[in-house]
């Protein structure tokens, strides 16, 4: 072993060795020999440590040469966003393998706090929440991993990934700031999560090369540097030098004013159709050196209810900009490479104006919502192959089920069901969060004044988000923060007045403080209505409704159900889509799985994606349950079709 000791140096400074005896020419020789011995041991230990360090796995930013270094060698990545929470666990490996087969070497995923801590202090990392299993599968498929744990992630998810219970803890909390009622919960969550992923960091032998702090903080109107510095220090204490910490912001000087954090690597995001050299100029103004990274290179776009068609991005535009990015030696992350589905009540909303997002997160991504490889997939794979060798990995599309049409039978009206939570009466209406109701519906009921007559203006300012108005159990109109929060009523003196309010998803981008329900008082011709009875319907445990006896008639909103079998010849349940044409608005469940909100009357999404793993093979029966709010299909039927429908046309 080369210890690095210069023996000639020691000889020239008075040390000499003859035979096995070393002396220093004086009475202190023996002490000095001992000192020399200790020095030699120290040098040996130091150089041994250096050798161990040099053999240690490392992923770092080489600012001097504008590149990443992986184990000391230049490295760049082509990544794809694939969110584990938007696809059943059974399909994780399939989707990851399809990323790798396209030539990608990294997968990027947000971490959704609300999934892992659905109630304060109650953590869940099992089943579809098993992020450790997802990371292991990625590594098994030859992919490195980028984690984006926020705590705010946006992601078009309810409250941007924050657990809504955090709003109940302090109804005046200021999210994404140094507000102590906020940081208290953030610290508790991050300590649990970061400790869990430490073994998977690249320096510790795992595949995680990068970890993001916050998310597009430069887009947030509150520029709280105390908060971002505090976050940085927490992340550093767990990640250290075992992975690269980074931030992501828009590629404009405005966004980079407050988004970057000192000592943290900076990346930007932008879509196709731009001059990429110019697109990186704002980044170079604040970070003159280091590798260039587009952390969200958009392959498509999100879609809101009420838009004329599904959003998207042209394949040629995406391909051309990909080529430009790779030609300038940049790293990039396709957002999204696989979009997936906002199952249940997980989709969020943009604001202003308030725009709730559809259940599908197909995103016009290279891999479709059902896992199929699109023309965009193969075009991207082709351009990647111009810069990187691509291993031939066999992947393909799966068959889809066309299971026919079934008739749903009426079960029970929502108000007659046992799914509601009755709260104490209050003088003024309470929000969802004040009542610790974080999803579904809230039924508000009061009584119209006895002296009410003629035509009066009913106003529900700050209605969040949409309400069906009833007088004596008869629907008389709809109010919505997206359209109008007032209406004229002309009858019902002394009769019950009810507003069935729907939470359409907490805002994920924009003004984050988004309480649900009747946030302000309801007035009739300017007079405040008081004495409210409130019943909450979280709609998270309704499977037993399907077992109730069928009845001849139910008043809307109501539950409808049916049982069905798959074909006997089918070896494995196939993915399918549930066509809700003819129904108006509601929620769909299959075998206890909440497939999400449907709203074909508004569009553009008409079908809901039903993954094969949610279905039972023959001879077992499958159960479908529908909660319809406004209008049922004339024949009470739904149909299982092999392809998604957008605006009543098959999407190809």
Q: Is 214 a known active-site residue?
A: no
**Which pLDDT score, from 0 to 100, does residue 55 have?**
56
**Which pLDDT score, from 0 to 100, does residue 648 have?**
56
How sure is the predictor about 189, in pLDDT bands with cuts at 50, 70 and 90?
very high
**Which pLDDT score, from 0 to 100, does residue 3 have?**
31
Q: Across the chain, which distance is largest between two alpha carbons, in Å?
A: 120
What's the average model confidence in pLDDT over 27-33?
Answer: 36
Report the C-alpha gap between 48 and 56 in whole angstroms: 13
10 Å Cβ neighbour count for 576? 26
Among residues 76, 22, 141, 614, which one has the least CA distance to residue 333? Answer: 76
Token duo for residue 47: 């150089």
**Which pLDDT score, from 0 to 100, does residue 56 have?**
83
What's the average model confidence in pLDDT over 171-183?
Answer: 95
The neighbouring-strand residues paired with 117 are: none
**Which pLDDT score, from 0 to 100, does residue 229 have?**
98
Contact 596, 347 (CB under 8 A): yes
Share of the chain above pLDDT 70, in %: 91
**Whether residue 35 has pLDDT greater than 60:** no
**Which pLDDT score, from 0 to 100, does residue 338 have?**
98
**Whether residue 1 has pLDDT greater than 50:** no
The neighbouring-strand residues paired with 248 are: 267
The H or E element containing residue 180 is helix 180-197
pLDDT tens profile 587-635: 999 999 999 999 999 999 999 999 999 999 999 999 999 999 999 999 9
Q: How many residues does the chain have?
A: 652
Under DSSP, the state recorded for 374 is -
**Whether residue 27 has pLDDT greater than 90:** no
Q: Answer whether the bond into residue 352 is a cis peptide, omega within 30°.
A: yes
Cα 313 versus chain centre, distance: 21
How sure is the predictor about 31, in pLDDT bands with cuts at 50, 70 and 90?
very low
User: Which residues are CB-contacts of 286 (< 8 A; sequence separation ≥ 6)?
Assistant: 256, 260, 266
**Whether residue 545 has pLDDT greater than 80:** yes
Which of 60, 296, 409, 628 is an active site residue?
296
**Which pLDDT score, from 0 to 100, does residue 618 have?**
97
Residue 233 phi/psi, 5° resolution? -70, -35
Contact 486, 479 (CB under 8 A): yes
User: Which residues are CB-contacts of 227 (< 8 A; sequence separation ≥ 6)?
Assistant: 176, 177, 178, 183
Tell whether pTM > 0.85: yes
**Whether residue 199 has pLDDT greater than 90:** yes
**Whether residue 41 has pLDDT greater than 80:** no
**Which pLDDT score, from 0 to 100, does residue 512 have?**
79
**Which pLDDT score, from 0 to 100, does residue 511 have?**
79
In the block, tokens 């984690």 appear at 147
**Whether residue 649 has pLDDT greater than 50:** no
End-to-end CA distance of the chain: 65
Token duo for residue 571: 């070896």
10 Å Cβ neighbour count for 186? 22
Alpha helices in 25-164 (DSSP H): 29-54, 92-101, 113-116, 131-140
**What DSSP string runs through 566-629?**
--TT-SSPPBEEEE-TT--SEEEEETTEEEEEE-TTT-SB-EEEE-GGGSPPTTSPEEEEEEES
Share of the chain above pLDDT 90, in %: 88
pLDDT tens profile 114-142: 999 999 999 999 999 999 999 999 999 99
**Which pLDDT score, from 0 to 100, does residue 436 have?**
97
What's the average model confidence in pLDDT over 376-381?
Answer: 98
Q: Is 296 a known active-site residue?
A: yes
Token duo for residue 629: 């709010």
Under DSSP, the state recorded for 432 is T
Token duo for residue 387: 């810069």
pLDDT tens profile 435-465: 999 999 999 999 999 988 889 999 999 999 9
Exposed, middle or buried: residue 321 (CB in 10 Å: 0-12, 13-18, 19+)? buried
The neighbouring-strand residues paired with 586 are: 598, 628
How sure is the predictor about 7, in pLDDT bands with cuts at 50, 70 and 90?
very low
What's the average model confidence in pLDDT over 544-560?
Answer: 97
What's the average model confidence in pLDDT over 379-398?
Answer: 97
How sure is the predictor about 29, in pLDDT bands with cuts at 50, 70 and 90?
very low
Token duo for residue 440: 């579904």
Contact 94, 371 (CB under 8 A): yes
**Which pLDDT score, from 0 to 100, does residue 510 have?**
82
Report the C-alpha gap between 103 and 101 in whole angstroms: 5
What's the average model confidence in pLDDT over 352-358?
Answer: 95
pLDDT tens profile 147-160: 999 999 999 999 99
Average pLDDT, the chain: 91
Token duo for residue 195: 């400790």
**Whether residue 39 has pLDDT greater than 50:** no
**Which pLDDT score, from 0 to 100, does residue 315 have?**
97
Which of 141, 156, 216, 369 is an active site residue?
216
**Whether residue 202 has pLDDT greater than 90:** yes
pLDDT tens profile 265-300: 999 999 999 999 999 999 999 999 999 999 999 999
In the block, tokens 């991050």 appear at 190
Exposed, middle or buried: residue 154 (CB in 10 Å: 0-12, 13-18, 19+)? buried
**Which pLDDT score, from 0 to 100, does residue 491 have?**
84
In the block, tokens 């731009």 appear at 274
């Amino acid at each position: 072993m080369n210890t690095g000791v210069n023996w000639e140096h020691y000889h020239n400074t008075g040390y000499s060795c003859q035979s096995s005896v070393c002396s220093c020419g004086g009475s202190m020789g023996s002490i000095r020999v001992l000192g020399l011995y200790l020095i030699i041991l120290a040098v040996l230990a130091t150089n041994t440590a250096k050798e161990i360090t040099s053999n240690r796995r490392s992923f770092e930013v080489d600012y001097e040469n504008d590149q990443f270094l992986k184990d000391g060698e230049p490295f760049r990545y082509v990544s794809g966003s694939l969110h584990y929470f938007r696809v059943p666990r059974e399909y994780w490996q399939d989707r990851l393998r399809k990323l790798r087969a396209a030539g990608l070497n990294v997968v990027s995923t947000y971490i959704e706090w609300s999934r892992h801590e659905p109630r304060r202090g109650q953590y869940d990392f099992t089943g579809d929440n098993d992020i450790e299993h997802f990371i292991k599968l990625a590594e098994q498929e030859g992919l490195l991993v980028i984690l984006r744990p926020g705590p705010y992630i946006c992601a078009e998810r309810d409250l941007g990934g924050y657990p809504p219970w955090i709003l109940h803890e302090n109804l005046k909390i200021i999210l994404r700031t140094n507000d102590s009622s906020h940081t208290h919960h953030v610290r508790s969550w991050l300590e649990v999560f970061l400790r869990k992923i430490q073994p998977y960091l690249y320096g510790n032998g795992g595949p995680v090369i990068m970890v993001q702090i916050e998310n597009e903080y430069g887009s947030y109107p509150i520029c709280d540097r105390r908060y971002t510095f505090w976050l940085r220090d927490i992340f550093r204490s767990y990640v250290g030098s075992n992975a690269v910490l980074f931030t992501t912001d828009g590629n404009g000087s405005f966004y980079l004013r407050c988004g970057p954090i000192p000592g943290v690597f900076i990346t930007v995001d932008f879509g196709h159709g731009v001059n990429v050299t110019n697109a990186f100029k704002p980044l170079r103004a604040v970070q003159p050196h280091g590798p260039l990274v587009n952390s969200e290179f958009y392959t498509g776009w999100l879609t809101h209810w009420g838009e004329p068609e599904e959003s998207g991005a042209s394949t040629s535009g995406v391909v051309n900009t990909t080529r430009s990015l790779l030609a300038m030696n940049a790293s990039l992350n396709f957002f999204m490479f696989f979009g997936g589905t906002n199952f249940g009540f997980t989709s969020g909303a943009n604001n202003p104006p308030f725009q709730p997002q559809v259940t599908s997160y197909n995103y016009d991504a290279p891999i479709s919502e059902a896992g199929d490889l699109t023309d965009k997939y193969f075009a991207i794979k082709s351009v990647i192959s111009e810069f990187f060798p691509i291993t031939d990995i066999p992947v393909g599309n799966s068959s889809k089920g066309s299971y026919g049409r079934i008739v749903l039978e009426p079960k029970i009206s929502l108000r007659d069901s046992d799914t509601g939570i009755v709260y104490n009466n209050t003088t003024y209406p309470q929000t969802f969060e004040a009542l610790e109701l974080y999803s579904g519906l809230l039924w508000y009921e009061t009584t119209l004044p006895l002296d009410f007559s003629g035509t009066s203006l009913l106003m529900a300012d700050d209605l969040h988000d949409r309400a069906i108005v009833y007088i004596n159990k008869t629907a008389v109109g709809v109010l919505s923060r997206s359209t109008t929060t007032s209406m004229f009523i002309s009858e019902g003196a002394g009769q019950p007045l009810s507003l069935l309010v729907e939470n359409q998803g907490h805002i994920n981008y924009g003004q984050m403080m988004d309480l649900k329900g009747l946030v302000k008082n309801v007035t009739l011709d300017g007079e405040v209505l008081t004495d409210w009875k409130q019943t909450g319907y979280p709609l998270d445990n309704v499977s037993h409704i399907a077992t109730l006896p069928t009845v001849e008639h139910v008043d809307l909103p109501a539950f409808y159900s049916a049982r069905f079998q798959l074909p006997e010849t089918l070896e494995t349940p196939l993915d399918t889509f549930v066509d809700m044409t003819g129904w108006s608005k509601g929620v769909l469940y299959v075998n206890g799985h909440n497939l999400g909100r449907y709203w074909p009357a508004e569009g553009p999404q008409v079908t809901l994606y039903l993954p094969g793993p949610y279905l039972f093979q023959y001879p077992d029966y499958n159960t479908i349950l529908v909660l319809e709010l406004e209008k049922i299909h004339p024949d009470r039927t739904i149909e299982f079709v092999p392809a998604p429908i957008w605006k009543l046309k098959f999407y190809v």
